[in-house]
């Protein structure tokens, strides 16, 4: 086991089993050995490649999307541009460059970046050093500044948020836990039965229901602020638009799937995003939800084909939009005030 795995095993020996969410939080964000807390995982040398790392086209189109949403609402004064989980800062750098086409917006924005990893916050700071707009980092959504109109983007952020898993057994719903096997190694186990899992009574035996309370809370809070302050949010991630009963928790290292429990701190952990659950949370927040639509459909509606021609990036275009690449599994969801028109691409 890894150093972090040993520490988690000692914690379980002392305190009892952990929920999957507790395990994910430690594996990803433990300040000493957590996956995101200690490294830059992106790129060809790293563990995985995200859309903004595939091509500048992605961040550019997102920047122009945000500008259109702002224009559609009558250009409210002093908007705040917020990115959740900015990774290397590539998307934001590309978006801010594209926004040079909209100087009346660019000249009055401030940027706030929600980032839990000090290593990645450092990368973002380097990447955006010459951006020429005020920058501020926060580690919690509640730290995002007060009452300005919000333009929010989150790419592959929600998949990194912790989930809990409920499993339908002959005895009813149980929660899947991380516990220890006879040899003291990390192993999956089940909680005692009798858990009430709302709205999911019809699961087949062995069916798994995944819930991200953290993700739903973020979606609801953003929606609440957009409903009150104006602006809009664009959430792009991989996930499903019809809830099922399969489990999607996965570990990835060096561009390949890995064991979820063996590599704690050394492998990325993520789960597919439950878009209907995010949409329902956002509806509770008071704003209107559009989508989800497939990333391919979304980017084509924003004109990625013309941009790809200009930049001679046919490969990147295919990778971002083809149904068997990132075009369908990845989806875009928008949140705007009820009074705003449907945003571009939806
Ligand atoms: N948006 C980037 C990075 C995606 S990876 C891209 O598309 O390339 C997920 C990002 O979310 C990382 O920057 C990670 O450090 C951050 N992150 C994960 N969990 C977080 C949390 N709970 N709070 C804040 N940031 C988090």
Which of 30, 44, 57, 87 best tests ligand 1's pocket when mutated (most atoms within 8 Å of CB)? 87
Q: Spell out which residues line ligand 1, taking CB within 6 angstroms.
A: 28, 36, 42, 50, 52-53, 85-87, 91, 114-117, 120, 155-157, 160-161
What per-residue confidence (pLDDT) applies to 77? 97
d(CA 114, CA 138) in angstroms, rounded, equals: 5
What per-residue confidence (pLDDT) applies to 116? 95
Average pLDDT over residues 28-46: 86
3-state SS, residue 298: helix
- Answer yes or no: pTM beyond 0.85: yes
Average pLDDT over residues 78-100: 98
Q: Is 18 left (phi over 0), alpha (psi -120 to 50) or beta?
A: beta
Q: Using 50, 70 and 90 to split pLDDT, how confident is the model at 201?
A: low
pLDDT digits (tens, 9 = 90+) for 149-195: 999 999 999 999 999 999 999 988 999 999 999 999 999 999 998 88
Which of 53, 83, 157 best tests ligand 1's pocket when mutated (most atoms within 8 Å of CB)? 157
What per-residue confidence (pLDDT) applies to 153? 98
Q: Is the pLDDT of residue 199 over 70?
A: no
What per-residue confidence (pLDDT) applies to 244? 81
Q: Is the pLDDT of residue 198 over 70?
A: no
Q: Using 50, 70 and 90 to split pLDDT, how confident is the model at 249?
A: very high
Residue with tokens 């980032």: 115
Cα 73 to the chain's mean position, in Å? 26
d(CA 32, CA 115) in angstroms, rounded, equals: 16
Ligand 1 atom with the shortest distance to the CA of 25: 22
Q: How many angstroms is it from 269 CA to the middle of ligand 1?
A: 12
Nearest CA to ligand 1 atom 21: 116
d(CA 121, CA 110) in angstroms, rounded, equals: 17
Question: How many Cβ atoms sit within 10 Å of the Cβ of residue 131?
Answer: 17
pLDDT digits (tens, 9 = 90+) for 110-155: 999 999 999 999 999 999 999 999 999 999 999 999 889 999 999 9
Q: How many angstroms is it from 36 CA to the middle of ligand 1?
A: 8
Which of 21, 25, 36 best tests ligand 1's pocket when mutated (most atoms within 8 Å of CB)? 36
Q: Using 50, 70 and 90 to split pLDDT, how confident is the model at 246?
A: confident
Average pLDDT over residues 223-245: 95
d(CA 289, CA 142) in angstroms, rounded, equals: 22
Q: Is the pLDDT of residue 262 over 70?
A: yes
d(CA 108, CA 294) in angstroms, rounded, equals: 32
With beta carbons less than 8 A apart as the criterion, state whether 91 and 59 touch: yes
Q: Using 50, 70 and 90 to split pLDDT, how confident is the model at 229?
A: very high
Q: Is the pLDDT of residue 278 over 70?
A: yes
Ligand 1 atom with the shortest distance to the CA of 90: 8
31: Cβ contacts below 8 Å, ≥ 6 apart = 37
Ligand 1 atom with the shortest distance to the CA of 29: 19
Average pLDDT over residues 289-306: 98
Ligand 1 atom with the shortest distance to the CA of 114: 24
60: Cβ contacts below 8 Å, ≥ 6 apart = 94, 95, 97, 98, 307
Average pLDDT of the chain is 95
């Amino acid at each position: 086991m890894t150093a972090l795995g040993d520490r988690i095993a000692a914690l379980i020996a002392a305190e009892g089993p952990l929920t999957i969410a507790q395990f994910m939080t430690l594996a990803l964000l433990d300040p000493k050995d957590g996956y995101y807390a200690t490294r830059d995982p992106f790129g060809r040398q790293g563990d995985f490649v995200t859309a903004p790392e595939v091509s500048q086209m992605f961040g550019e189109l997102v920047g122009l999307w945000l500008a259109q949403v702002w224009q559609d609402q009558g250009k409210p004064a002093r908007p705040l541009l917020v990115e959740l989980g900015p990774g290397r800062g590539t998307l934001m750098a590309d978006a801010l460059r594209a926004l040079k086409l909209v100087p009346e917006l660019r000249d009055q924005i401030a940027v706030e970046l929600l980032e839990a990893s000090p290593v990645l916050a450092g990368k973002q700071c380097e990447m955006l050093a010459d951006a020429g707009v005020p920058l501020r980092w926060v580690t919690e959504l509640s730290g995002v500044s007060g009452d300005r109109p919000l333009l929010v983007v989150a790419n592959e952020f929600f998949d990194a948020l912790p989930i809990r898993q409920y499993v339908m057994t002959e005895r009813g719903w149980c929660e899947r836990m991380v516990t220890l096997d006879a040899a003291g190694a990390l192993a999956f186990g089940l909680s005692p039965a009798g858990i009430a899992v709302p709205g999911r009574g019809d699961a087949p035996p062995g069916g798994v229901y995944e819930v991200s309370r953290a993700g739903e809370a973020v979606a609801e809070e953003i929606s609440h602020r957009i409903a009150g302050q104006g602006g809009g949010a664009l959430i792009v991630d991989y996930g499903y638009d019809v809830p099922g009963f399969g489990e999607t928790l996965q570990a990835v290292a060096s561009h390949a799937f890995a064991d979820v429990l063996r590599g704690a701190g050394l492998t990325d952990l993520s789960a597919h995003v439950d878009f209907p659950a995010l949409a329902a949370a956002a509806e509770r927040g008071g704003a209107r939800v559009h989508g989800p639509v497939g990333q391919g459909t979304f980017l084509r509606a924003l004109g990625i084909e013309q941009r790809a021609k200009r930049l001679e990036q046919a490969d990147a275009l295919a990778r971002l939009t083809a149904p068997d690449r990132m075009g369908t599994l990845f989806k875009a969801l928008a949140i705007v005030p009820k009074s705003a028109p449907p945003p571009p691409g939806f």
